[in-house]
Structure 1
Amino acid sequence: MADFQANSRPFAALDRSGRTRRLRRLAEAALTAYDVPVARLTPLGRGVNTMFRVDGADGHRYVLRVQRPDGPSAAQVRSEMAWLAALGRETDLVVPRPVPARTRDLVTVVADPAVPEPRTCVLCHWVDGRFVDERLSAPQLYAVGEFTARLQLHGARMTGLDRGRVDDLTEFGRSQVDGFSDVVLDRAVATAGGDGRIRAALERARAVRAELGCGADVFGLVHGDLRQDNYLFHRGRVRAIDFDDCGYGHYAYDLAVTLDELEHLPQRNVLREALLDGYRSVRPDAATTDPAVLNAFVGLRRVQLRLR
């Protein structure tokens, strides 16, 4: 009786573990679309999407992502996978490599009666490595800076992808022609509690965006969420995961996300300079690494996190 009641409860009424159990069945259905012999499926506790580690009977390991319903559309996820596939073909940067379904599509949409809406699923090869967290060193951040710059250079060549802006303010902002208009900004400030400091931060970010413009030297396709949970190290090399937030924006925004995540570390000033030195070794873009520009985007990022 208890199992029946648990299975009949509305999906929205379930806690995270309950939803994961429902989505596991959906994930198992998604995996039937791939030529991957599954030996074990293990939920992963990180991220806003539901993730499963897939241990293959062939000895290979994969990760299956079940997309959140309010996230990017299937077409947008397909664009994300197209970028990852191109990175795997055209560079030596280590990122998740998408696994095509038998149909050759990089996206699988699956429905399950116990889940309210169909879910977009993607399967990628596992990326080995370790997260360093508090023990980050200057050489490691130099490598992250190099990686970021090379990722952006490749992203500049990717055209026609269905991805949004990384600097949109709230869902309302995404629906507007100008995602940083007065109306959007006013609503964002009100949502965040009407704090005058928030308004000042957003107005500063808006002014910097306008000053930079959208030329190819300062604006393009970026990772959008290159924080400590999304870069790891393996045999001395940096690797990046979780491109779910990738999109179009200023290159300085990409760097600002990484910089903001270092603020709690005592060695943050050394790490900051190492990151920027590594970036400049590939892209000596004065505007992108200007301290005032970076600080403006750090402020924007903090407001975005508050609005989530």
Structure 2
Amino acid sequence: MADFAANTRPFAELDRSGRTRRLRRLAEAALTEYDVPVARLTPLGHGLNTTFRVDGADGGRYVLRVQRPDGPAVAQVRSELAWLAALRRETDLVVPQPVPTRDRDLVTVVADPAVPEPRTCVLCRWVEGRFLDERLGPPQLYALGEFTARLQLHGARMNGLDRGRVDDLTDFGRSQVNGFSDVVLDRAVEQAGGDEQVRAAVDRARAVRAELGFGADVFGLVHGGLHQENYLFHRGGVRAIGFDGCGFGHYAYDLAVTLGELTHLPQREALREALLDGYRSVRPAAATTDPAVLAAFVALRRVQLRLR
């Protein structure tokens, strides 16, 4: 009786482990669309999306991502995968390599009776490496700065991709024509319990965006989430994962995401300078690395995380 009740409870009432068990069955169905002999499927994480490590019977390793229902649309996920595929073809930057289905599609949409809505799923090859965080040093951040700049240069060549903005203030903002409108800001302040510091941070970000403009030298396709859980190191080289949040924004936003996640480290100032030096070695753009610009985007990112 207990097993029956667990299998018939509404998905929204399940705890994290219960939802992961349901999504595992959906993931198994998704994998039948790929020419990958599966030996083992292991849950990796259940956050905004749910991911599984896939160990192939042929020795290959992969990551299957089950997209959250309120995430990017199928066309937008295809655009993300198209960028990854182009990066693998056209550069030596190490990013996840998309695996096409038997029908040569980069995504598959799967439904399961125990999950209330169809889910978009993608499969990529495993990226080897280690996450460092407290062990980060200036050499790693210099390499990440170079990587970020080269990633942006390639993104500038990717025309016609269907991706949203990385700096929209809230989920409500993403549904509006202008994600920074007064209506969006008023709702954000209300969501933050009336905290006017939110308004001050957004007003400053508005001013900085206006000062920078939206020219190709300061604005384009960016990763949007280069924090310690999305970059890793292997044999001295930096690699990036977690492109599901990529989109269009100011290049300084990418750097601000990285900088905002270093504040708990005692060597944060040395890491900051190394990141910016590495970035400038590829893109010596003073506007993008201006301290006031970066501070405004760091504050904006902090507001976004607070209201997520």
Normalised TM-score (structure 1): 0.99
Question: Which stretch shifts more, 48-57 or 174-183?
Answer: 174-183
Task: Tell me the amino acid that sits aligned with residue 27 of structure 2.
Answer: A
Aligned residue for 1:33?
33
Q: Structure 2 unaligned runs (5+)?
A: none
Counterpart-to-counterpart distance in 2, 1:231 and 1:4? 42
Aligned residue for 2:93?
93
Q: CA deviation at 1:45?
A: 2.4
Counterpart-to-counterpart distance in 1, 2:26 and 2:206? 42
Q: Secondary structure at the match of 2:100?
A: coil
Q: CA deviation at 1:199?
A: 1.0
Counterpart-to-counterpart distance in 1, 2:186 and 2:4? 47
Aligned residue for 1:145?
145
- Per-residue Cα deviation, 1:273-300 (whole angstroms, up to 9, x for no partner): 0000000000000000000000000000
Q: CA deviation at 1:249?
A: 0.1
Aligned residue for 2:6?
6
Counterpart-to-counterpart distance in 2, 1:26 and 1:60? 21
Task: Tell me the amino acid that sits aligned with residue 170 of structure 2.
Answer: T
Q: CA deviation at 1:184?
A: 1.3
Q: Secondary structure at the match of 1:45?
A: strand
Q: Map of 1:49-68 to 2, 5 A cutoff?
A: 49-68=49-68
Q: CA RMSD in A?
A: 0.7
Counterpart-to-counterpart distance in 2, 1:281 and 1:192? 39
Q: Secondary structure at the match of 2:243?
A: coil
Counterpart-to-counterpart distance in 2, 1:65 and 1:293? 34
Counterpart-to-counterpart distance in 1, 2:208 and 2:231? 27
- Per-residue Cα deviation, 1:102-132 (whole angstroms, up to 9, x for no partner): 1100000000000000000000000000000
Aligned residue for 1:116?
116
Q: Structure 1 unaligned runs (5+)?
A: none
Counterpart-to-counterpart distance in 2, 1:191 and 1:60? 45
Aligned residue for 1:164?
164
Counterpart-to-counterpart distance in 2, 1:105 and 1:290? 41
Aligned residue for 1:262?
262
Cα 1:110/1:46, change in 2 over 3 Å: closer
Q: CA deviation at 1:194?
A: 1.6
Counterpart-to-counterpart distance in 2, 1:17 and 1:244? 23
- Per-residue Cα deviation, 1:215-245 (whole angstroms, up to 9, x for no partner): 0000000000000000000000000001010
Aligned residue for 2:292?
292
Aligned residue for 1:208?
208
Task: Tell me the amino acid that sits aligned with residue 198 of structure 2.
Answer: I
- Per-residue Cα deviation, 1:247-280 (whole angstroms, up to 9, x for no partner): 0000000000000000000000000000000000
Q: CA deviation at 1:176?
A: 1.7
Aligned residue for 1:253?
253
Aligned residue for 1:302?
302
Q: Secondary structure at the match of 1:148?
A: helix
Identity between Structure 1 and Structure 2 (%): 85
Counterpart-to-counterpart distance in 2, 1:45 and 1:80? 20
Q: CA deviation at 1:47?
A: 3.8
Task: Tell me the amino acid that sits aligned with residue 206 of structure 1.
Answer: R
Question: Which stretch shifts more, 147-156 or 183-192?
Answer: 183-192
- Per-residue Cα deviation, 1:60-80 (whole angstroms, up to 9, x for no partner): 100000001111111111110
Counterpart-to-counterpart distance in 1, 2:50 and 2:40? 16
Q: How many residues align?
A: 308
Detail structure 1 runs of 4+ shifted over 3 Å in the superposition: none
Aligned residue for 1:155?
155
Q: Map of 1:182-193 to 2, 5 A cutoff?
A: 182-193=182-193
Counterpart-to-counterpart distance in 2, 1:25 and 1:270? 46
- Per-residue Cα deviation, 1:153-204 (whole angstroms, up to 9, x for no partner): 0000001111000000112211222211111111111111221211111100
Q: Do structure 1's residue 276 and structure 2's residue 276 form an aligned pair?
A: yes
Aligned residue for 2:24?
24
Task: Tell me the amino acid that sits aligned with residue 284 of structure 1.
Answer: P
Counterpart-to-counterpart distance in 1, 2:46 and 2:287? 34
Q: CA deviation at 1:46?
A: 5.6
Q: Secondary structure at the match of 2:257?
A: helix
Counterpart-to-counterpart distance in 2, 1:7 and 1:27? 17
Aligned residue for 1:180?
180
Counterpart-to-counterpart distance in 2, 1:292 and 1:264? 20
Check whether the contact 2:78–2:106 (CA below 8 A) recurs between aligned residues: yes
